Amino acid sequence: MHLAPALTLPPVGLLVLLGAATAGLAQPDPDSGWVDLTAGGLEQGWRQLGGAAKYVLDGDTVVGTAVIETPNSFLATTEEYGDFALQLEFKVDDGLNAGIQIRSHSDPDYWNGVVHGYQVEIDPSERAWSGGIYDEARRGWLFPLTLNPAASQAFRQGDWNHVYIEAIGSEIRTWLNNVPATFLIDEMTPRGFIALQVHSVGPEQGGLQVRYRNVLLRTEDLTPSGRAFPFVVDTRPNQLSETEVALGWELLFDGESTEAWRGAHREHFPNTGWEVRDGELTVLASEPGGPRGGGIVTRETFSAFELQLEFRMTEAANSGIKYLVTEGYGSAPGTVVAFEYQILDDARHADAEAGRDGNRTLASLYDLLPAVKQGRFVHGPGRYNHARIVVRANGTVEHWLNHQLVLAFDRNSAELDEAIALSKFADRDGFGKWPEGRILLQDHGDEVAFRSIKVRRLDGAE
């Protein structure tokens, strides 16, 4: 699905610690720069926040026991950290969720002190997202392991697992049992405390335990541990990391210039109907039946490619991302017929109930194939959603919503041919068979803002 994940480990000087940790780690050499955060016991340098789960130090192991009818519980460091490397081992009972907070806070003016910040997930469920990054009590999932299936397979249920976390500047990387798991670039929180979580539980989960040991921290002589991860999530608006550039990503919108775009069926970018403001490329609302700016298309064409962008809907908005667009294909002047990643406020727009089997809902292949609804993450009007479209040379296509795969299909399949025959495109000869085309952002009369629009071309092996 993506570039094959290369096993890039932390620097050689750390490998001794990492290898030993999977078998139980002795006290670190004081000259190594690593500090055992539990060496002084839990009364020194730690405090409990949130719920009333029980934490005890049993020998060299922190044991957290779930207590029913209490919120998420956190054993947090009293000190805050900015740049650091952290490694520890954990073992969790089946059925109990947990996590490791980093760069986190508990402020009285934020939801009465609720703990919030980055969490490295501990997830023994069938989903197996241990090592992924969740934004606790804030933005939700930032890097679920749907983006890196190899890492989700690294978790060992019923045994000790080793996690290595690196936070340097805006870059956060994690490894699970020496397998690269996540690479997140995010600037929201540059420093904060570290905490060991016991999740809130229902009555049937009371008494379940998670164990942590060899909680080792290093804050000096830090060097990024390599960049060979299968996927990078960069939340910084309209920017590309060095890693993304090396992987072939290009910006189609940098927050200011519309140079990469023009109006559909036009030579230039529309003079009205679109606006660049606050780092967003925004299609403006128009009165029903009134003039519009019209859709905009990329000046370049693409065949096999991967597209990512963020979009922010207004209430009851309707829009879309069309791809493999051929402007002269069977269309009246000013219209474009092509594959479309539907953008829709499903809760407030009537089109969500139109079409067939929900094939006009958010992230669906418009009027053809519906996106999966179960388990997906959707941010409502006023918040950004992340869209990703992958079109491969072998004919397979994927629609992703907020880093969850919600639709996959084969352009050459009988399933798609049948869907076309039952759709509004049934009379369009050759619909969906285009070898290449442009990318289009739709003007459907409703305000929708776009940003962080990036694309990379794929070869036949990807």
Average pLDDT rounded to a whole number, residues 434-446: 96
At residue 11, the pLDDT reads 43
Name the band, by pLDDT with cuts 50, 70 and 90, for residue 15: very low
Q: Over 60: is that where the pLDDT of 234 sits?
A: yes
Query: Could you tell me what percent of the chain has a pLDDT over 90?
Result: 85
Name the band, by pLDDT with cuts 50, 70 and 90, for residue 27: low
Q: Over 90: is that where the pLDDT of 64 sits?
A: yes
- CA distances (Å), origin 400, targets 55, 250, 364, 407, 415: 39, 19, 10, 7, 20
Q: Over 70: is that where the pLDDT of 25 sits?
A: no
What pTM does this model have? 0.91
Q: Over 80: is that where the pLDDT of 446 sits?
A: yes
Q: Over 70: is that where the pLDDT of 229 sits?
A: yes
Mean pLDDT estimate for the chain? 92
At residue 32, the pLDDT reads 79
Name the band, by pLDDT with cuts 50, 70 and 90, for residue 22: very low
Name the band, by pLDDT with cuts 50, 70 and 90, for residue 334: low
Q: For the segment 271-286, what is each residue's pLDDT rounded down to a tens digit?
A: 999 999 999 999 999 9
Average pLDDT rounded to a whole number, residues 129-152: 96
